[in-house]
Amino acid sequence: MENYKDVKMGIRKLNIALAVTGRGSEGRDEDSYSYCFNDNGGFIGVFDGFGEMDSTTYSKLGTRTGGYIASRLAAESTIKMFQNGNFTFSEMDSIKLTSDLKKYIDKVKKNFADNQDTALVPTTASIIACDYSKKDSIMFEYLWAGNSRGYFLDKNGLCQITEDDVVEQISPIDETKKPRVINLVNAETDFKINIKTVRTDAPTILVTATDGAYGSFATPMEFEYALLYTLNRAKNVAQWESLLRRLVGEFAKDDFAIMIVAFGFDDFKDLKHYFFERTKKMFNEYIEPISKAKEENSTSKVEELWNNYKADYYR
């Protein structure tokens, strides 16, 4: 389209946003999300409460688990930080957010925990802040702790920006291992908010997701295709949200949360058109071959496909 090169009028345009949440077959409604935008920027964030690490129940808060409470506190604290104008798109954002989350969770723990000695109140966090106040490009700031992930999706496909905080980094197509998550936001131990920045002058979709969402699919290729397939079938943003929730829900064992925003598109039809060729490419070069490889029980073929895909995924 003509305005793809027009940064001032095109790329700084935010007009598509959606949130997809649900409870998996083994979930406990412990994922949460938050977002906020104004004329100059905003953020999206997802938070995965770790009830398996802290099943402490809070009678004063409706007998919710520590994981449930933590994800909601982290979501609310991030909103407050943004509304107070404390996103500066510098290393200070990591320091400030770490401090704010710690204080917020500590305060609630002291006021509401029935047994403060055992209350960890743990959660992951994956936040993407956006600054579109400049005329020539948009800056995205990725802030995270734990294994919830932040991505961008453009004409070259899905790209994972965050790096999981786990004891051992493994291939994302290795279904035999699930490494222990570390560096969780919590009330008892030290943690840090990681930070990376990305600048772009091209139309872009931002995606942030908990592991219950991306982990519902065996490979990153299938997660990307789920995003594009549902986009291609949808007639509007609301239907895209509904289709994606239904598709993730079919496979999800855990709770899931996905936040998506798009920049630089005229409307939903324009967004679909922009990613139409990428959707076909993904099906022909990855999804159909993956399906055949699974029928033949060929892990080597899936690995070969992953090796072709990951150059852009980790660019």
pLDDT of res. 12: 47
pLDDT digits (tens, 9 = 90+) for 136-173: 789 999 999 999 999 999 999 999 999 999 998 888 88
pLDDT of res. 100: 95
Q: Which two tokens stand for residue 196?
A: 């990376």
Spell out the residues 6+ positions from residue 249 whose beta carbon is closer than 8 angstroms to its own: 22, 24, 256
In the chain, where the domains are located: 14-311
What dihedral do alpha carbons 79, 80, 85, 90 form, nearest 10°?
-70
Can you spell out the DSSP letters for 217-230?
SSSHHHHHHHHHHH
Contact assessment for residue 21 and residue 183, using Cβ atoms and an 8 Å cutoff: no
pLDDT digits (tens, 9 = 90+) for 57-80: 777 777 788 888 899 999 999 999
Tell me 11's DSSP state.
Answer: I
pLDDT of res. 2: 30
Burial of 238: CB neighbours in 10 Å, binned 0-12, 13-18, 19+: exposed
Correct CATH for 14-311 of 3.40.50.970, 3.60.40.10, 3.30.43.10, 3.90.1150.180: 3.60.40.10
Which of 175, 184, 120, 173 has the alpha carbon at shortest distance from 148?
184
* H helical segments located in 138-253: 211-214, 220-233, 237-251
Encode the chain (315 residues) as per-residue pLDDT tens digits: 233 233 333 444 556 889 999 987 666 789 999 999 988 899 999 999 987 766 667 777 777 888 888 999 999 999 999 999 989 999 999 999 999 999 988 888 777 766 666 668 899 999 999 998 887 789 999 999 999 999 999 999 999 999 999 998 888 887 667 889 999 999 889 999 999 999 998 899 999 999 999 999 999 999 999 999 999 999 999 999 999 999 999 999 889 999 999 988 888 999 999 999 999 999 999 999 999 999 999 999 999 999 999 999 999
Global confidence as pTM = 0.92
pLDDT of res. 11: 44
pLDDT of res. 55: 66
Q: Which two tokens stand for residue 137?
A: 């490009």
